[in-house]
Amino acid sequence: MFSSSINSRKLGCSRSARTGGTPVVAWIVLLACLLTLSGVGCGPDVPSAGDPRPRVASGPKTDFETFFDGEPVPNPESAIWKELPPASGRQRFDLTFERWDEETVSARLVLPQGASKENPAPLIYYFHRAVETRESADAVAAVLSDRGFAVLAADHPSIRRHSMTKGRDKILETVVLSRDAVVDARDVFDFVRQRGDVDPRRVVAVGASQGSNIAVITGALIPEIRGVASIVGGGNRSRGLKEFNLPERKAGVAGRLFDSVDADQVVSSIAPRSFLMINAKEDEVVERERAEALYRQAKDPKGILWIAGGHRFPFETLKPLLLPWLVEVLGA
């Protein structure tokens, strides 16, 4: 299991002595200091041992290969499973546990009827939009659990931090939150795979909007994930830096910061597993150019589908497009 790397509540550059040092985080911290994205000092701390298990499944070596190096392990004794009232015969559970910085990670697992240790269910690991929470697992399960899929969703770190930062600080915060979301996802998956009623060998990552980027990175880093579906997602996130009007030199450094958590940089490592993109023709948030940029970086087997409409739509409208892919990849 893994946990987070930077105490994002402070948006600082130093780390607690409880944490493990990681090359990528150190690089991010250095770049952040150069950008003066935060007013907090960058004094060194003494790292402690973590649980390094780099897991790029395939593809060329990249900085993502050391993404989890030195990440400290959450306390397993802090994990609590709370059974919720069933919904339409589906079992529902909330998982909470503490990260190294004592923040609480929350996730929801929804099991289809008949799932058990004797009959573990294939899992859809859903990475929600910015406006959603872990409760989105219920909505996804309502659409797809009739085919025997379990659904898992974890709260994005931004939900528990309620940040209102703006300007240049927003650049560092975006990077930190994205990294933490991926690390949280790995920790959640490690707890869920221990249950027995979910099949850890039959898992796909499905992400929508903001969650698409996290799904792609997580899917590339967890070899047990059989495929990744990106919904209204795209690459080249550094395009968003234009609004900050940074000088050319600092814009280059900030761009490399964004690249460290950009799906563009790792999507090729999903192959030879399956990669599917579903994007909207009139998307007002993710331009077609960004969607096509991510698709070009991916390797076969891959596919892209275009639907009418804009960035926001009910998940149920995706069922005719997503279900055949799920059945093929998960064998359900």
Nearest to 147 by CA among 295, 327, 269: 327
The pLDDT value recorded for residue 73 is: 77
**274, 227 Cβ separation under 8 angstroms:** yes
- When mean pLDDT is compared across 36-50, 74-88, 164-178, 198-212, the lowest value belongs to 36-50
The pLDDT value recorded for residue 63 is: 54
- When mean pLDDT is compared across 11-20, 135-144, 228-237, 311-320, the lowest value belongs to 11-20
Nearest to 213 by CA among 255, 264, 170, 169: 264
Question: Is pLDDT above 80 for 205?
Answer: yes
Q: What percent of the chain has pLDDT over 70?
A: 70
Quick one: 168 exposed, middle or buried, by C-beta within 10 A (0-12, 13-18, 19+)?
middle
Mean predicted confidence (pLDDT) in 21-40: 42
DSSP β-ladder status, 274-280 and 198-208: unpaired
Question: Is pLDDT above 70 for 68?
Answer: yes
- Greater model confidence, 118 or 67: 118
Mean predicted confidence (pLDDT) in 24-40: 42
Is there a domain that residue 5 lies in? no
Q: How confident is the model at residue 75 (pLDDT cuts 50, 70, 90)?
A: confident
Number of structural domains in the chain: 1
Strand segments, DSSP code E, in the chain are 80-87, 90-98, 104-111, 121-127, 150-154, 198-208, 225-231, 274-280, 302-307
**153, 128 Cβ separation under 8 angstroms:** yes
pLDDT in tens, 99-139: 988 899 999 999 999 999 999 999 999 999 989 999 999 99
Q: Give every strand in the sheet of 302-307, ordered side by side.
A: 80-87, 90-98, 104-111, 150-154, 121-127, 198-208, 225-231, 274-280, 302-307
The pLDDT value recorded for residue 283 is: 96
Report for 37-41, 65-69, 320-324: range of highest mean pLDDT: 320-324
Domain that holds residue 162: 76-330
Identity of residue 311: H
Q: How confident is the model at residue 294 (pLDDT cuts 50, 70, 90)?
A: very high
3-state DSSP call for residue 91?
strand
Q: What percent of the chain has pLDDT over 90?
A: 58
- Greater model confidence, 177 or 270: 270
d(CA 314, CA 117): 32
**168, 15 Cβ separation under 8 angstroms:** no
Is there a domain that residue 161 lies in? yes
d(CA 299, CA 267): 8
Mean predicted confidence (pLDDT) in 156-176: 67
The pLDDT value recorded for residue 158 is: 79
Is there a domain that residue 34 lies in? no
Sequence-distant (6+) residues with CB within 8 A of 179 are: 4, 5, 6, 25, 28, 260, 261
Q: In whole angstroms, what separates CA 173 from the centre of its chain?
A: 15
The pLDDT value recorded for residue 58 is: 36
d(CA 174, CA 161): 12
The pLDDT value recorded for residue 166 is: 53
Taking each helix axis from N to C end, the angle separating 169-193 and 23-35, rounded to the nearest 10 degrees, works out to: 160
Is there a domain that residue 188 lies in? yes
Is there a domain that residue 48 lies in? no
Mean predicted confidence (pLDDT) in 279-294: 94
Q: How confident is the model at residue 173 (pLDDT cuts 50, 70, 90)?
A: confident
Is there a domain that residue 221 lies in? yes
**CATH code, 155:** 3.40.50.1820
The pLDDT value recorded for residue 237 is: 63
Mean predicted confidence (pLDDT) in 28-33: 45
Q: How confident is the model at residue 238 (pLDDT cuts 50, 70, 90)?
A: low
Is there a domain that residue 207 lies in? yes
d(CA 247, CA 296): 29
Mean predicted confidence (pLDDT) in 132-150: 96
Is there a domain that residue 4 lies in? no
Quick one: 284 exposed, middle or buried, by C-beta within 10 A (0-12, 13-18, 19+)?
exposed
Question: Is pLDDT above 70 for 57?
Answer: no
Question: Is pLDDT above 60 for 320?
Answer: yes
Mean predicted confidence (pLDDT) in 146-175: 76
d(CA 81, CA 192): 10
Question: Is pLDDT above 80 for 174?
Answer: no
